[in-house]
Amino acid sequence: MKLREVKPEIRVLGVDDGHYGPEDDRTLVVGVVMRGGKWIDGVMCTEVTVDGLDATDRIAEMINRSKHKPQLRVVLTDGVTFAGFNILDIQRLHEETGLPVVAVIKHEPDLSSIISALENLDRTEERRKMVLRAGPVYEATTKPGEPPVYFQCAGISPRVAELVLKRTATRHRLPEPIRVAHFIATGITKGESSSGA
């Protein structure tokens, strides 16, 4: 699906992962369906392996089995690293769900330090390719007078992705669906949410 317009009540899925401790093999990933960054329409979840390679498959399954899928127009994720260095391949997530995907973070990502860190894990080359396949990092000012956010996108032009970010950054410069997914994922895994995605 090609996203051509960004309606005020656009249905967006925000995705973020929970906390995990040294003894945990897996952690929770939460998806929140919101309308235009204002109203919550649903919550879904899955689990991914710490430092594993299953984030793309698990998140694609979670989206594809959801009853909200027909209404969803775009998926916003908190960056491309889940549960440590379980890299989300945003191109493949786009292909497998048919939805545009925008990975958003608060600080400019240091791709070279991510790539160096991958040296300590198995299947380094595979992970490195997934990081690079996420493509160029763009910058968007979602709240005038505040620092920008940074994003990578798949199946959507950077121009339209920026409109989605502006539309859904209703309270904070990060899109509200990502903030709420963060509150839920950390609230459930830690007993109480930590602030900020």
Which residues are at the interface with its own copies (CB under 8 A)?
28, 30, 39-46, 62, 65-68, 171, 179-180, 183-184, 186-188, 191-193, 195
Of 124 and 189, nearer to its own copies (C-beta) is 189
| Closer residue to its own copies (CB): 161 or 185 | 185
Contact 16, 32 (CB under 8 A): no
Q: Compare residues 28 and 87 and give the one whose CB is closer to its own copies.
A: 28
- How far apart are the C-alpha atoms of 80 and 38, rounded to whole Å? 24
Three-class SS state of 106:
coil
Closest approach of its own copies to the CB of residue 188, in Å: 5
Strand partners, 112: none
Residue 53, Cβ neighbours under 10 Å: how many? 18
Amino acid at 6: V
Nearer to its own copies, 9 or 126 (CB): 9
Q: Which two tokens stand for residue 196?
A: 């900020």
**Shortest Cβ 27–its own copies spacing (Å):** 13
The nearest distance, CB 173 to its own copies, in angstroms, is: 15
Q: How many CB atoms lie within 10 A of CB 74?
A: 27
Helix H or strand E segment including 125? helix 124-133
CB of 39 to its own copies, least distance (A): 6
Supply the minimum distance, in Å, between the C-beta of residue 75 and its own copies.
15
Between 70 and 191, CB nearer to its own copies: 191
**Exposed, middle or buried by CB within 10 Å (0-12, 13-18, 19+), for 177?**
buried
Write a three-state SS string for 104-142: EECCCCCHHHHHHHHCCCCCHHHHHHHHHHCCCCEEECC
